[in-house]
């Protein structure tokens, strides 16, 4: 199998064609000329996609790993090799070529080995002793569907890029995230391969909750929002779709309880956040109308949508004590994730 990517062969011509289109538009050239160049660009992109990547043989990564002279060097390189092998998995998903099940299974095993061998983030290690998680009764968490909402202006690509920018996903894990949301993994033998999340459980639960509330992602059944399945949707999504930099395996029952507990804490904190922001908003409206005649009072408009509530928070966040008070009420919510979604909302077309 070739170790050379075929994609680069088209890059120079794609860049040149894009520049020609830009020049023609600036010069107000006839539409027929612009359309001809656009068609050529489309063909080039299709050709690049057809031969996007010839993945390296799995033995390449194992050989490079064994070439490292010390265990410390191998451990330091493991994450890099896992990312490279995952690039091959993503390329297989995005290719129209026939899959080799044996090769695919080998790649998955190689990735799982490198992930296990890679150094762990000591700050992410969590000691559940005495936190009550072991005594928690967890309902059965079903395998549920996670898909993108095609009607939302914030696409999976926008969300994935933002998660990379904020350090929650690596480039290839973000690519796997996009492929999963696009449905490319639905019939893919490697669908069990997890997406490695580089944050804690609360941050992942905050992401799923906000993405669902903003209608970026559809999580599970929407038929009965009061059903037990819907109430556990976020917990189930986190449990079945992501792996975490924690020292306990997913098969550990106490770890399952830990995931469920922290996910529910984050989801409850998001709901508390909505209530706290609306309370501040209502109090501000009341104070602004104090002492005014009925004819001069402004009509109070509650913050109804998630977008309105997020925007409402940032409009009062700088008021002394207000932003801090809201954050203190929602200590299991990841506010950096809130920044991420606020940026996505502000950048909507």
- What's the whole-model pTM score? 0.77
**With left for phi above 0 and alpha for psi between -120 and 50, is residue 148 left, alpha or beta?**
beta
Give the pair of three-digit tokens for residue 179.
């492929």
| β-bridge mates for residue 196, sequence order | 243
- Least confident residue range of 56-60, 62-66, 192-196, 267-271: 56-60
Confidence band of 329 (pLDDT split at 50, 70, 90): very high
E strands within the chain?
Answer: 146-148, 195-197, 217-219, 242-244
More confident residue, 285 or 74: 74
pLDDT value at residue 125: 56
- Over residues 238-276, the pLDDT tens digits come to 877 777 766 666 567 777 788 888 888 999 999 999 999
Q: Give the separation between CA 127 and CA 5, rounded to whole angstroms.
A: 44
**Domain ranges within the chain, ordered by starting residue:** 8-50, 58-119, 134-263, 267-346
pLDDT value at residue 6: 42
Radius of gyration of the chain measured on its C-alpha atoms: 24
pLDDT value at residue 146: 83
For the chain, give the percent of residues with pLDDT over 70: 75
Contact of 114 with 79, CB cutoff 8 Å = yes
- Over residues 119-154, the pLDDT tens digits come to 766 655 555 555 666 677 777 766 777 888 888 999
């Amino acid at each position: 199998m070739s170790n050379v990517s075929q994609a680069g062969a088209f890059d120079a011509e794609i860049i040149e064609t894009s520049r020609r289109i830009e020049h023609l538009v600036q010069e107000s050239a006839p539409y027929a000329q612009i359309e001809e160049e656009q068609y050529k660009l489309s063909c080039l992109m299709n050709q690049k996609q057809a031969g996007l990547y010839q993945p390296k043989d799995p033995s390449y990564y194992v050989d490079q790993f064994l070439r490292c002279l010390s265990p410390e060097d191998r451990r330091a390189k493991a994450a890099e090799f896992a990312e490279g092998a995952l690039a091959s998995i993503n390329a297989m998903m995005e290719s129209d070529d026939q899959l080799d099940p044996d090769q695919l299974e080998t790649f998955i095993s190689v990735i799982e080995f490198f992930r296990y061998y890679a150094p762990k983030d000591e700050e992410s290690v969590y000691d559940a002793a005495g936190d009550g998680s072991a005594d928690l009764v967890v309902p059965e968490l079903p395998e549920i569907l996670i898909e993108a909402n095609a009607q939302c202006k914030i696409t999976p690509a926008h969300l994935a890029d933002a998660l990379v920018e904020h350090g929650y996903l690596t480039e290839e894990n973000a690519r796997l995230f996009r492929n999963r949301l696009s449905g490319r993994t639905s019939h893919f033998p490697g669908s069990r391969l997890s997406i490695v999340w580089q944050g804690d459980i609360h941050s992942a639960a905050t992401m799923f909750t906000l993405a669902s509330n903003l209608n970026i992602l559809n999580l599970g059944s929407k038929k009965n929002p009061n059903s037990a399945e819907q109430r556990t949707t976020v917990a189930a999504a986190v449990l079945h779709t992501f792996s975490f930099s924690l020292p306990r395996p997913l098969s550990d029952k106490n770890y399952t309880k830990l995931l469920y507990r922290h996910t529910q804490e984050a989801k409850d904190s998001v709901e508390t956040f909505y209530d706290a922001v609306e309370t501040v908003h209502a109090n501000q409206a009341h104070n602004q109308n104090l002492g005014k005649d009925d004819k001069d009072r402004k009509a109070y408009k509650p913050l109804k949508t998630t977008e309105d509530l997020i925007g409402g928070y940032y409009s009062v966040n700088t008021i002394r004590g207000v932003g801090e008070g809201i954050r203190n009420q929602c200590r299991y919510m990841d506010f950096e994730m809130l920044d991420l979604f606020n940026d996505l909302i502000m950048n909507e077309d």
